[in-house]
Structure 1
């Protein structure tokens, strides 16, 4: 397991590279050029500048999250070929800079959704919260405004410029159902995966967050059957999954450990985080500790350890603790605590496995 930490760039993150370097076992950052809108080609000079910044602190830039997919590609519009060509050139530029994994998603309009960015928890901390009943009645324009008004930093997937296109996008998606979205995804993959394969890059799609439809928009990467279908669209080692335990874990019917065992050779990148799901379908993000949520984090780490997982891993959203002022879900303190919990589990499972192997060798000598 290769530990990395998401960083949003100088001037756009409350967490510094110097502080990230202090976290034991973190070897690289997960980054992106967040100021560039979806559909723009990433300039090599900008890519190399981020690499230089990270290497100054002994960190690599081998994982990018995200190279966002333009809505015209998801909608299957004639203009999609232009944006796919730009995406391909970006893949080539990133490969030139040593990038190994590109995380992306195929969610229409919204990359993720929460109804409260700072829901207070019993211990006094705050966390991202999703109220299932409220999302059905809320105006998406109101939700976008709330997201942006409650964060002084840009929120990926909720950039202010999206406000100007919401009406247009919702109208366009009226004719796009799940099967159409699958078709548009296959078209995209058939174009970019061969390029990724030639350049030694693994594309790793992020599941839908939450893993069900919101605002009547189609969502297709929601569970084990759909992830299996996705991998079969283009059967290539460069066509992989970012397995996010928090996104998929918001639906208690999803068997995360079964997914890890089935797809482990196609998981180059994993997000490990916990959520507490309530009986009514609401959920709140918690500490990474297994007992604090409904995701079997200990079981997830054990599955990865048993399978010899050597992909990239990052702690995902954390609580806001110790009066830290930070991007919602992306402070330093709770994510650093999460990393140490994950390492504790990993090291303990490794020790148990090593002790068992040693005992077997002794028995064989006898």
Structure 2
């Protein structure tokens, strides 16, 4: 039976017992972040984290722990690229070096975003099911918060994204690295004068149509796309048919674009099983990863949403969904 490919994110600077647990529960791939801890690049600048030496050493550490490093979900500074500010050329060169080095090291997917102010949560100690700690976004919490880097409109963001892809896609094609853009989180039109453009299904269609390269694709975040569209299953099918889903974040939220809270994966309101059947039917087996889980009693988290026990629970649930989808489709074939 085909096995689901889970590339769980490793946030630690060195192996931990959680890494061993991941191996024990059947996780063989990893999503990595840039090794900013090796060496102290902010002080000495011997290397940048996206240079070959630190990235190669990081990959070796991950592989020695038993994982294949499949995805990098991190990036050099890109604020000047997004805003079109002086100094963007240096930032473009840093991104190019990252992609080239990923290619040399055989790291297949780069997950990036086009959010000038990043992904946002305004509350990180909400009480979820049974008192589990969870996070949420409430737009009203930001009403008096000025934009960190200044305002920017949709037209400027689109123009700068097109310029960026015109520059980086040929480099990615040469390096054999697929670019998987993450949707805006939250998918609002703007936040305090800072526009957001990757916040509708139509926006992703537009990006794919304007840059039809097979290296230009999507990180399909289930919770964010569920806030964009009423029928998530049809959206999964739509982008699978276009062969533009390169990486999947599987998680659940309840609420709407302006007010939502993250919940356990089994509390979700989306048709998860039908969505998983679409992945299997179209021959997409991963990489998947779970994301933003509540924190259980006695558990620890270094980053809100990335506790140990919560992710173990979500991984098991995801594995069960996948196996059920495979067996149900095999049953459909046998009965036809």
TM-score normalised to structure 1 length: 0.82
Task: Determine the structure 2 residue equivalent to 1:46.
Answer: 54
Distance 1:232 1:115 in 2: 34
How many residue pairs are counted as aligned between the two chains? 320
Indicate if the aligned counterparts of 1:132 and 1:282 stay in contact, CA closer than 8 A: yes
1:113 to 99, 117, 120: 120
Task: Determine the structure 1 residue equivalent to 2:205.
Answer: 228
The gaps in structure 1 that reach 5 residues or longer are 142-165, 361-366
Task: Determine the structure 2 residue equivalent to 1:158.
Answer: none
CA-to-aligned-CA distance 1:286-305 (integer Å, 9 cap, x gap): 1111xx13333223212212
Residue 233 of structure 1: CA displacement?
2.7
Residue 130 of structure 1: CA displacement?
1.4
User: Is 2:255 aligned against 1:270?
Assistant: no
SS of 1:257's equivalent?
Answer: helix
CA-to-aligned-CA distance 1:34-92 (integer Å, 9 cap, x gap): 5378xx56121111111111112210112100124511100112432222122112111
Task: Determine the structure 2 residue equivalent to 1:127.
Answer: 134
CA-to-aligned-CA distance 1:189-234 (integer Å, 9 cap, x gap): 0111111111111000000000012222110001110110111231
Distance 1:20 1:332 in 2: 10
Task: Determine the structure 1 residue equivalent to 2:34.
Answer: 33
User: Is 2:299 aligned against 1:296?
Assistant: no
- Cα RMSD, aligned residues only: 2.1
Indicate if the aligned counterparts of 2:34 and 2:72 stay in contact, CA closer than 8 A: no
Distance 1:140 1:53 in 2: 41
Structure 1 runs, 4 residues or longer, greater than 3 Å off: 13-16
Cα distance change on mapping 1:67 and 1:254 into 2, 3 Å: farther
Distance 1:217 1:60 in 2: 37
SS of 1:29's equivalent?
Answer: strand
Residue 98 of structure 1: CA displacement?
1.2
Task: Determine the structure 2 residue equivalent to 1:187.
Answer: 163
Indicate if the aligned counterparts of 1:4 and 1:27 stay in contact, CA closer than 8 A: yes
Indicate if the aligned counterparts of 1:69 and 1:106 stay in contact, CA closer than 8 A: no
User: Is 2:224 aligned against 1:247?
Assistant: yes
Task: Determine the structure 2 residue equivalent to 1:196.
Answer: 172
TM-score normalised to structure 2 length: 0.89
Indicate if the aligned counterparts of 1:273 and 1:297 stay in contact, CA closer than 8 A: no
Task: Determine the structure 1 residue equivalent to 2:315.
Answer: 339
Task: Determine the structure 2 residue equivalent to 1:149.
Answer: none
Indicate if the aligned counterparts of 1:208 and 1:248 stay in contact, CA closer than 8 A: no
Indicate if the aligned counterparts of 2:233 and 2:275 stay in contact, CA closer than 8 A: yes
